[in-house]
């Protein structure tokens, strides 16, 4: 199959229209020697899509911006130097699609931290100047390092949220807890797309998992996902007083900072334990924290970005073996359904991930 010169997608012209995508056609980026081209099958809706469309992190780089970075598709073409992926394979692409592959980070399984990394959308290709377009679209192109073969046991719609949400929580969990977390207590804050997968992966690694949510409305579902305990921070005032010295690791997956008192979370960590925030609010929002919050237990604060290909392959294998599945609502993709899903996700009305499907009908 040849690669079409023009791709189709659902894009927006400006941030005010963040939830009013329209069908757009655009020139494709050129296919480089290490690139893989997918005909897209489905794509998840990540909280980052909304931050980006609203211009909450940076200005929109195009006036036909297509987002989406939880992409599953069928390989229709590969560059001449691609070795391990072939036409016909089913693969996924997450939130990054290229990096230099030459720096120390790229060579040591930290390629997502490359200073030249290219995001899957709204990001400039350092070779061609092309502004990348995401996966609410007919086709996607990525460097082979950012293309992950999908195990047969995982259906496409189930695999999609693993490309970004799954990998983003899996990487800091294994980096901080190792592959066997038995006997360790882990807190997961914000039970959305990322958080509900973090509960499942932390449980699969053997940890004792405590879910934190602003209200108790997700309690039963969080326990079903594998949480052993649940704290509704907006309803249980001074919850931290009964959890002193309890946590080996806390992972924040919330997309905002409302009601998130960092000092309370730091106070319940064990000595030398760490609080990692993968959740990212609008760029102007900041945490308030007292230097005294770190002194009582020598705790640390940090963050984490996506995950490496090595971690992605391990995560997919674990998901297939242990039957770890995102809870999804499938949405056949149209301009209207895309806008509705963006609005509903922004309002917190999703349990727990939208996945756009039926791309063949929308783009053929």
Does 172 participate in binding ligand NDP (rule CB under 6 A)? Answer: no
Residues 248, 37: Cα–Cα separation, whole Å: 42
Token pair listed for 322: 């242990």
CA distance 267 to 16: 40
| 274 is an interface residue for ligand NDP by CB under 6 A | no
How many angstroms separate the CA atoms of 154 and 162, rounded?
A: 10
Among 4, 151, 206, 348, binds ligand NDP (CB under 6 A): 348
218 in contact with ligand NDP (CB under 6 A): yes
Q: Which residue from 305, 330, 334, 344 is in contact with ligand NDP, where contact means CB under 6 A?
A: 305
Q: Does 257 bind ligand NDP (CB under 6 A)?
A: yes
Taking CB positions, which residue lies at the least distance from ligand NDP?
192
Query: What is the nearest approach in angstroms of ligand NDP to the Cβ of residue 156?
Result: 19
256 scored as a contact of ligand NDP (CB under 6 A): yes
- Residue 289: C-alpha distances to residues 259, 262, 293, 296, 299 (Å): 13, 6, 7, 14, 13
Sign of CA dihedral 56, 61, 64, 66: negative
Closest approach, Cβ 182 to ligand NDP, in A, equals: 26
By CB under 6 A, the residues from 99 to 158 that bind ligand NDP are: none
Select from 60, 65, 225, 253 the one that contacts ligand NDP (CB under 6 A).
253
Residue 60: Cβ-neighbour burial (10 angstroms; 0-12, 13-18, 19+): buried
Structure tokens at 90: 């089913």
Stretch that binds ligand NDP, among 97-105, 177-185, 199-207, 302-310 (CB under 6 A): 302-310
Does 209 bind ligand NDP (CB under 6 A)? Our answer is no
**Binding status of residue 226 toward ligand NDP by CB under 6 A:** no
| Of the candidate residues 131, 157, 194, 273, the single one contacting ligand NDP (CB under 6 A) | 194
Question: For the window 29-68, what string marks contact with ligand NDP as x by the rule CB under 6 A?
Answer: -----------------xxx--x-----------------
Is there a contact between 186 and 248 (Cβ–Cβ < 8 Å)?
A: yes
- Residues 6 or more apart whose Cβ sits within 8 Å of residue 285: 256, 257
To 10 degrees, the CA torsion angle through 25, 145, 198, 247?
Answer: -140
Distance separating alpha carbons of residues 315 and 146, to the nearest angstrom: 14
Instruction: State the residues that interact with ligand NDP by CB under 6 A.
Output: 46-48, 51, 95, 164-165, 168, 190-194, 213-214, 218, 253-258, 260, 278-280, 304-306, 345, 348
């Amino acid at each position: 199959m040849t690669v079409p010169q023009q791709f189709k997608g659902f894009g927006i012209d400006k941030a005010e229209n963040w939830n009013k995508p329209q069908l757009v056609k655009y020139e494709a980026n050129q296919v480089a020697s290490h690139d893989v081209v997918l005909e897209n099958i489905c794509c998840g809706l990540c909280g980052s899509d909304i931050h980006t469309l609203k211009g909450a992190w940076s200005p929109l780089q195009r006036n036909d911006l297509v987002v989406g970075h939880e992409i599953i598709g069928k390989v229709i073409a590969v560059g001449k130097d691609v070795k391990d992926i072939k036409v016909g394979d089913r693969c996924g692409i997450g939130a990054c699609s290229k990096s230099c592959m030459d720096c120390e980070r790229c060579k040591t399984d930290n390629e997502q931290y490359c200073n030249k990394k290219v995001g899957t959308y709204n990001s400039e290709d350092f070779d061609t100047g092309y502004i990348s377009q995401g996966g609410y679209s007919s086709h996607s192109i990525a460097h082979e390092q950012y293309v992950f073969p999908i195990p047969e046991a995982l259906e496409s719609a189930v695999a999609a949220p693993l490309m970004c949400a799954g990998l983003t929580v899996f990487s800091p969990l294994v980096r901080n807890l190792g592959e066997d977390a038995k006997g360790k207590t882990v807190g997961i804050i914000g039970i959305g797309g990322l958080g509900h997968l973090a509960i499942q992966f932390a449980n699969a690694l053997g940890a004792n998992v405590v879910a934190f949510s602003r209200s108790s409305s997700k309690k039963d579902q969080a326990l079903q996902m594998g949480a052993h305990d649940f704290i509704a921070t907006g309803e249980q005032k001074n919850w931290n007083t009964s959890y002193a010295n309890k946590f080996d690791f806390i992972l924040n997956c919330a997309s905002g900072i409302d009601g998130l008192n960092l000092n309370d979370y730091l106070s319940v960590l064990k000595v030398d334990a760490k609080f990692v925030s993968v959740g990212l609010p609008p760029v102007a929002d900041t945490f308030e924290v007292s230097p005294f919050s770190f002194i009582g237990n020598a705790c640390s604060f940090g963050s984490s970005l996506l995950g490496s290909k090595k971690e992605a392959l391990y995560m997919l294998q674990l998901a297939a073996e242990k039957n770890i599945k995102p809870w999804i609502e499938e949405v056949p993709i149209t301009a209207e359904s895309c806008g509705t899903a963006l609005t509903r996700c922004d309002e917190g009305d999703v349990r727990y991930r939208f996945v756009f499907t039926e791309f063949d009908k929308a783009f053929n």
